[in-house]
Amino acid sequence: MLASGRGSNFLALHRAAAQGRIPVRLVGVFSDRPAAPVLAHARDQGIPAVALSPRDYPDRLAFDRALLARVAAVQPDLIVCAGYMRIIDGTVLAPLVGRMINIHPSLLPRHRGLHTHRRALEAGDREHGASVHVVTAELDGGPVIAQAVVPVLPGDDEQRLAERVLAREHPLLVASVGALATGAVRWSDGRLWCGEAPLDAPLRLDADDRLVRP
């Protein structure tokens, strides 16, 4: 996992794995912020945690190469970006496409980038949510695996909307990683597949925290 912040998605994934709800083993957490709380959470669970500071490298490319080399050393089958706040250089990403996913707090392709909750409110959106997508060189532009939808309610502000989205982010990420781990969703021939059919529209997280076709 790559993360820059508090690690709530890490804790959700770790809990699901520890309870046997998804067949995965977390082998490392990596961050660009040495003080990120997610690192302490990982170490508390006995999971290797590594932080590199971008200030110690001459440019973004050098940093990304160094960090991803550390990631490669633990030989992950899947790399999960959850609150990782840096854009990774496209040349470094190229060999990883299909093996790296990101969770983003909007219903992509709407509201790529930052401040998604504010922008959803300013746009007058009636629905908002979160998306899990394949990471590509295009910012928040890779194929979307699955989404969780929440209503935008009268009187919402950024904080209330963010809390409602986060509550669905956790089961969305768990379900998406589980689907990839079991092969229910897979990357093949440069595209996503669900079962034997191409995944032409994102799966949706239902009320029972299962991924279903829309």
Known catalytic membership, residue 104: yes
Instruction: Look up residue 152 and give its two tokens.
Output: 């935008």
* Residue showing tokens 């930052």: 114
Q: What are the b/e assignments for 6-31, b being 16+ CB within 10 Å?
A: ebbbbbbbbebbeeeebebebebbbb
Cα 193 to the center of its chain, rounded Å: 18
Cα–Cα distance, 151 to 55 (Å, whole number)? 40
Active-site residue among 14, 41, 104, 133?
A: 104
**Residues designated catalytic:** 104
